[in-house]
Amino acid sequence: MRIVIIGAGEVGFYLAQRLSQEKHDLVLIDVDPEKCANAQEALDVAVVQGNASSQSVLREASLESADMLIAASGVDEINLLACMIAAKMGVKRKIARVRNPDYYSESSLLRAQDVGVDLFIHPEEEVIEEITRLLLRASASEVIEFENGKILMVGLKLDANCPNLNKQLKEVGNEEQRRSFRVIAMLKGEKTIIPSGEDYFHKNDQVFVVTKRESLPEVLSLTGKSDQKLDKVMILGGGKIGRGLASRLEDQIEVTLVESNKEKSVQLASQLRKTVVFQADGTEIDILAREGLLHMDAFVAVTSDDETNIISCLLARHLGVQKTIALVNRAHYLPLMPVIGIDSTVNTRISTASAILRFIRRGSILSVATFHGIDGEAIEFEIKKENKIVGKPLKRLGLEGALIAAIVRGGEVFVPYGNSTIELGDKVIVFALPRAIPSIEKKFS
C-alpha cells in the first residue's frame, strides 16, 4: 500500500517505522528540516520537507497516487486541510489526528465528510480510555480487551511475590489452569520474546498473558497478584488528559486532581462536579501527603513533563501507593519504567498509533493492539473463507515470530494449544513480532 504520512514527530515517526517494517511504500512530510534529516537517516522511507497544507508540497509527495493519507502533524488545521486536498485528489482513505474537540464533537457544525476525513483520531481520548482500563484492573501494567471484554491481554510485572519465580512456563499451575491462559510475550531486559514452555519466569520480567475475563483472578494468583478494587485516585496534571480522566472517573470513585497553575486550578474546580482540586507542584511530596496521597489507592501523573511524571510516581510508590501510572512520551524511557518500579505507563504516540493501525488493517482484520515497551502487535482476524490454515493443527502452521493467542467460535472463547484447529467463521487473535506481521496478514486475510 502507498501511504503518505504528515508529521515526523512522535506519532508520525513511530507509524512510519512500524509500517516500513511491513514493506509499505511510504512518504513522510514535515516542515522541520532536522526531523526530516533524522527520518531520512533512520527509516526506509521517502521524505519531503515542507508545509503539508501546501498543494505543491503534497504534489511533490505524489499524494494523488497514494492509497491513504495519515495526517498526524501537531497542528489540527494542517491535518484537516491536507485531508480536504487529498479528497479532491481522489485518495480513498484519509485519517486526521485532531486534538480540538470543536472539530469532532457531536455538537460540531463540521462533519467528518465535510472535511474529507474517514477517521478522526483524538490522542488524549485514546490515553484516557487506556488509563481507565488500567485503573479498573489495578494489578496490571497494561490491559487490552477483545470481543467486548471477553478476552483480556494483560501485562504483569513479576516481583518477589510471584510464587512461580524460576519455574518453566510448562510448570506454572496445573494442567487445567494452563488451558485457561497463555503467555504470549515476555520482556526480558530490553528483548521481546515469544516464549515456549521451556522458558522461565524470572524476577522483573514483564509478561503478557491472554486469558478469558472469568479466568483473570486465577491467572493473577499464579503471578502473585490480586484484582484489587480502587476507591481513591489522585491525578497530577490538569491538562486535557487529567481533566478528561477526572470527569470520566468522578461518578465511580473518589478523585483528587492536583494542578500547579493557580488560574487553571480555579477553572478546573468550577468545571468538575465531584473532584477535589488543589494547587501544588507534583514534586512537593509533603503537600501531596497532606492532601491525602498517603490514603490513595492509585496515583496517575499526566503532566506535559515526562520527568515530573516519573519522579512523582516514584515518590508515590515510596509512600506506599499501590498503583502508579505515568504518562511517558519519550520512547527510550519506556523499557526502564518496570525496572525502576512504576507499575504502568501510557504513551500518546502508541495509543494514537494503535487506533490508526486498527483502521489501516480493516477487512478480515477486526482490530489491532500495540503494547508499551515491547515489539509486537495483537491482531484479530475473522476467517471468512476457506484457505490453507483452516482445519490444520496450529503446531503445523509454521508461525515463525507469532502465535495464536485465542480463538472465538460461536460466541465461545478458548485459549488454543498445539492440536487445536481453526475453522471457517472463527475469530482468531494472533500475537506477532514486527518482522512476522506481513506473512501473518497474508496467511489469515
User: In terms of pLDDT, which residue wins out, 148 or 445?
Assistant: 148
CB atoms inside a 10 Å sphere around CB 302? 25
Q: What is the arithmetic mean of pLDDT over 377-403?
A: 87
Q: Round to whole Å and give the CA distance between 206 and 217.
A: 18
Q: Is the pLDDT assigned to residue 358 strictly greater than 80?
A: no
User: In terms of pLDDT, which residue wins out, 340 or 64?
Assistant: 64
pLDDT of res. 277: 94
Q: Is the pLDDT assigned to residue 363 strictly greater than 60?
A: no
CATH for the 232-350 domain, from 3.40.605.10, 3.60.20.10, 3.40.50.720, 3.30.1490.20: 3.40.50.720
pLDDT-derived band at 349 (thresholds 50, 70, 90) equals: confident
Q: Round to whole Å and give the CA distance between 15 and 11.
A: 6
For residue 26, what is its C-alpha cell?
Answer: 511510504
Q: Round to whole Å and give the CA distance between 247 and 183.
A: 35
CATH superfamily ID and name for 2-121: NAD(P)-binding Rossmann-like Domain (3.40.50.720)
pLDDT of res. 362: 57
User: In terms of pLDDT, which residue wins out, 47 or 435?
Assistant: 47
User: In terms of pLDDT, which residue wins out, 143 or 91?
Assistant: 91
Q: Round to whole Å and give the CA distance between 51 and 367.
A: 32
pLDDT of res. 361: 64
Q: What is the 3-state secondary structure (H, E, C) of 340-409?
A: HCCCEEECHHHHHHHHHHHHHCCCCEEEEEECCCCCCEEEEEECCCCCCCECCEHHHCCCCCEEEEEEEE
Our separate counts of H helices and E strands in the chain read 14, 22
Answer for the pair 188, 208: CB distance below 8 angstroms, yes or no: no
- What 8-state DSSP symbol labels residue 297? S
Beta-strand (E) ranges in 133-237?
A: 142-146, 151-157, 181-188, 191-193, 206-212, 232-236
Which of 114-118, 124-128, 272-276, 368-372 is predicted with the least confidence, judged by mean pLDDT? Answer: 368-372
Mind listing the pLDDT tens digit for each residue in 281-308? 877 878 888 888 899 999 999 999 999 9
pLDDT of res. 386: 81
pLDDT-derived band at 45 (thresholds 50, 70, 90) equals: very high
CB atoms inside a 10 Å sphere around CB 307? 12
pLDDT-derived band at 373 (thresholds 50, 70, 90) equals: low
Q: Is the pLDDT assigned to residue 70 strictly greater than 60?
A: yes
Q: Is the pLDDT assigned to residue 244 strictly greater than 90?
A: yes
CB atoms inside a 10 Å sphere around CB 170? 12
Which of 100-114, 119-133, 165-179, 259-273 is predicted with the least confidence, judged by mean pLDDT? Answer: 100-114
pLDDT-derived band at 94 (thresholds 50, 70, 90) equals: very high
Q: Sign of the C-alpha dihedral, residues 12, 375, 438, 388?
A: negative
User: Which residue has cell 521451556?
Assistant: 198
Which CATH code fits 376-444?
3.30.70.1450
Answer for the pair 295, 256: CB distance below 8 angstroms, yes or no: no
CA 75 to chain centre: 22
Q: How buried is 408 (Cβ within 10 angstroms: 0-12 exposed, 13-18 middle, 19+ buried)?
A: buried
Q: Is the pLDDT assigned to residue 418 strictly greater than 90?
A: no
Q: Round to whole Å and give the CA distance between 124 and 122.
A: 6
In degrees, rounded to 5, the angle at the alpha carbon of residue 174 between the alpha carbons of residues 170 and 177 is: 95
Q: How large a percentage of the chain has pLDDT more than 90?
A: 41
Q: How buried is 160 (Cβ within 10 angstroms: 0-12 exposed, 13-18 middle, 19+ buried)?
A: exposed
pLDDT-derived band at 338 (thresholds 50, 70, 90) equals: confident
Q: Which fold has domain 139-222?
A: Alpha-Beta Plaits (3.30.70)
Mind listing the pLDDT tens digit for each residue in 183-214? 999 888 778 889 988 999 998 888 999 998 88
Nearest in space to 256 (alpha carbons), one of 304, 290, 307, 286: 290
> pTM above the 0.85 mark?
no
Answer for the pair 258, 282: CB distance below 8 angstroms, yes or no: yes
pLDDT of res. 6: 97
For residue 309, what is its C-alpha cell?
Answer: 511524571
Interacting residues of 296 by C-beta distance below 8 A, sequence separation 6+: 232, 233, 234, 256, 316, 321
pLDDT of res. 300: 96
Q: Is the pLDDT assigned to residue 352 strictly greater than 90?
A: no
Q: Round to whole Å and give the CA distance between 68 and 370.
A: 21
Residue 250 phi, psi (nearest 5) = -65, -20
2-121 and 232-350: identical CATH topology: yes
pLDDT of res. 25: 93
Q: Is the pLDDT assigned to residue 136 strictly greater than 60?
A: yes
pLDDT of res. 353: 80
Chain mean pLDDT for the chain = 87
Domain residue extents for the chain: 2-121, 139-222, 232-350, 376-444
Q: Is the pLDDT assigned to residue 93 strictly greater than 80?
A: yes
